[in-house]
Amino acid sequence: MGAEWREGGTRRTPGRAVAYATCGVVLLAGCASMPDSGDLRGVESTPRQDTQVRVFAMPPRDDAQPLEIVQGFLEALTSDDPGYATARQYLTEKAAQKWEPERSTTVLTDGPATDAGPTGTRDDADDYSYTLTGTRVATVDAQQSYAPASGEYGQVVHLSRDKKNGQWRIDALPQGVVMGKSDFQRNYVSVNKYYFASNTTADGSDGSRQPMAVADPVYVRERVDPMTQMVRSVLTGPTSWLRPVVRSSFPTGTALPKGVTALTPDDQNKLTVPLNDKAVHIGQGKCDEMAAQLLFSLRSLTPAVDEIALRAGGTQLCSLTEERAAAVAARGSETNPGYLYFIDGQHRLERMTSGSGNTKADPVPGALGDGAKALRSVAVSRDEHSAAGVALDGKALYVTSTVSGSSIGDPVLQSKGKTETDRLTTPSWDTQGDLWVADRDPAAPRLLLLEKGAGQPLEVLTPGLDGRINAVRVAADGVRIALIVDKGGKQSLFIGRIERGQGNAEQASVSLQELRSATPELEQVTAMSWAGDSRLVVVGREAGGVQQVQYMQCDGSVPEAGTLPGLTEVTSIAASEDSEIPLFATSKEGLLWLPGGSGWRTLKETASAAFYPG
């Protein structure tokens, strides 16, 4: 017995050793081969670094020919030279003093061509001139505001031979700089400056009225200390187009103190902005607004700024973090819509939770959702408590609540148009709860404003409007309005400025001022929606092209990566100011959406209009 035990014991020991050795070998083998399971973790997306091409300006060569001088000068304009110091070396001293490159930037399709001018055809002459020619695309004015332009460009550059050293230099040239479109896109970047709407406020989270931030898009040179440029630009004030309806919290005359050359955020992404003496006696609230303006503006340039601190007179006035900025001022892109609304195949208003990817649709509570009235188009107010619906025939506009059990009531507006397309457009709510709608009656085309969605419609003055309004969309900031204007069969997008005059006590006068074309190259704009503080998503067709969906800046420029996946016969498009929320569109295919930018996907077979609140 005992012997057996002992035998068993001795036999077990090598067995165990073998087991241990096997375990060790398996472990080692695990280390020596690639893992095929486990280690689950999230992947941080590394930002795709774009291949930026830089042009390095060269000073003029000795004994360079006139053509070389002109070419070198034009090339120097496309470089990142901060003050165009190299470009100035191509100029005579006098011309260099007079030349103001900041005055304007002219963008040509293909860059300026140089044609030998009328004088100086002889080689031995002491003066020479070239004409810079090209097709204009846009101009950026001294306020850095972009404006689409068209037409031929033709400016004369005159060269003369320096008497002393015999070198050719430019002695007469147009102000500003000129460059090709691709150079412009390479060198400049569109950023939003933020100001506050003069007479529009938004409901703050704590019930108080917050100032509404209005984006003012400008172009800055991307690689010439854009942050400081941006701060200077914000301090200078809004561009002239927006100036009548916005205010800046910075006291007039506020600027960076002399000697400040470059601003860079510190390790904690905090940017300290020194201000001159004008800003010394500023209240805390005002200072927060100032900081919010700068913070919003700089974050549109780079997300690497989380906090703004303002200093003046040697003391810190205030400091504002990104989290607190939301409590200081409201911004269109910060207000998330609760639902996406659409009109289904039975002409009822339905809604889906926005942004969650949940595609389950419910009828909207209230009169519009129960199918009692067939609807053509609807607008839901920004607080999502009321909705305005246009009947299927387009004749009548109803305003009702989205509370269940509400009745549809009487129409608040009726159109006298003869056909469906000559009647009421899709209405639009602004932040103050006023309802905008256009009547397309060819006999009396007009833009109407219903204060709080009720009462007597107020006809909005539209000076300078040429054509019939086909669609209306008020921006979240309440000071800009996007219109599709139909003129002679061409539909184009216009951006207007809403000015609320004082008028008399009962009847405030509201007008749209300085309408400007945002899509000069598009012929058939069928649908549009605001898709950011200064960005719209537009469905349109270029002359001789096909319909496409693209982003547009409200100043008319096309942002980089502006084009979206193509879609045909779009009847409506829904976009939110918050760029995180997906796009929806309706077409023949029904209701479609664009999750993550990969391509359009069909959600519902039949739907006629999709929209977010507003």
Measured from the CB of residue 164, what is the shortest distance to another protein in angstroms?
23
3-state secondary structure of 121: coil
CB burial of 379-406 (b: ≥16 within 10 Å; e: otherwise) equals bbbbebebbbbbbbebbbbbbbbbeeeb
Tokens of residue 436, six digits: 């905008």
Measured from the CB of residue 109, what is the shortest distance to another protein in angstroms?
10
The closest alpha carbon to 110, from 74, 144, 79, belongs to 74
Could you tell me the sign of the dihedral formed by the alpha carbons of 187, 192, 193, 198, in that order? positive
Measured from the CB of residue 71, what is the shortest distance to another protein in angstroms?
6
3-state secondary structure of 77: helix
Measured from the CB of residue 180, what is the shortest distance to another protein in angstroms?
4
Measured from the CB of residue 50, what is the shortest distance to another protein in angstroms?
8
Measured from the CB of residue 183, what is the shortest distance to another protein in angstroms?
6
Measured from the CB of residue 117, what is the shortest distance to another protein in angstroms?
10
Contact residues for another protein, defined by CB under 8 A: 48-49, 51-58, 61, 65, 67-68, 71-72, 74-76, 78-79, 110-116, 130, 179-180, 182-183, 186
Taking the least distance from each CB to another protein, the nearer of 121 and 208 is: 121
Taking the least distance from each CB to another protein, the nearer of 161 and 186 is: 186
Measured from the CB of residue 105, what is the shortest distance to another protein in angstroms?
15
Taking the least distance from each CB to another protein, the nearer of 130 and 296 is: 130
Measured from the CB of residue 131, what is the shortest distance to another protein in angstroms?
9
Task: Show the CA angle centred on residue 255, arms to residues 251 and 260, nearest 5°.
Answer: 155
Measured from the CB of residue 409, what is the shortest distance to another protein in angstroms?
59
Largest Cα span, the chain? 126
Beta-carbon count within 10 A of 104 CB: 17
Taking the least distance from each CB to another protein, the nearer of 54 and 98 is: 54
Measured from the CB of residue 559, what is the shortest distance to another protein in angstroms?
18
Could you tell me the sign of the dihedral formed by the alpha carbons of 146, 188, 235, 327, in that order? positive
Q: What is the DSSP letter of 19?
A: H
Measured from the CB of residue 111, what is the shortest distance to another protein in angstroms?
4
Contacts of 26 (CB under 8 A, 6+ apart): none
CB burial of 488-503 (b: ≥16 within 10 Å; e: otherwise) equals eeebbbbbbbbbbeee
Residue type, 599: G
Beta-carbon count within 10 A of 287 CB: 22
Taking the least distance from each CB to another protein, the nearer of 50 and 410 is: 50
Contacts of 515 (CB under 8 A, 6+ apart): 462, 464, 465, 483, 485, 494, 495, 496
Taking the least distance from each CB to another protein, the nearer of 113 and 392 is: 113
Q: What is the DSSP letter of 229?
A: H
Residues 607/590, Cβ–Cβ less than 8 Å: yes
Q: How far apart are CA 197 and CA 497, in angstroms?
A: 11
Residues 223/250, Cβ–Cβ less than 8 Å: no
Q: What is the DSSP letter of 238?
A: -
Q: If you write DSSP's letter for every residue of 89-103 in order, what string do you get?
A: TTB-HHHHHH--TTS
Q: How far apart are CA 147 and CA 131, in angstroms?
A: 24
480-487 β-sheet, strand order:
468-474, 480-487, 490-500, 510-517
Measured from the CB of residue 264, what is the shortest distance to another protein in angstroms?
11
Measured from the CB of residue 187, what is the shortest distance to another protein in angstroms?
10
Contacts of 202 (CB under 8 A, 6+ apart): 209, 210, 211, 212, 330, 335, 431
Secondary structure element (H or E) that encloses residue 243, with its range? none
Residues 351/341, Cβ–Cβ less than 8 Å: yes
Taking the least distance from each CB to another protein, the nearer of 181 and 232 is: 181
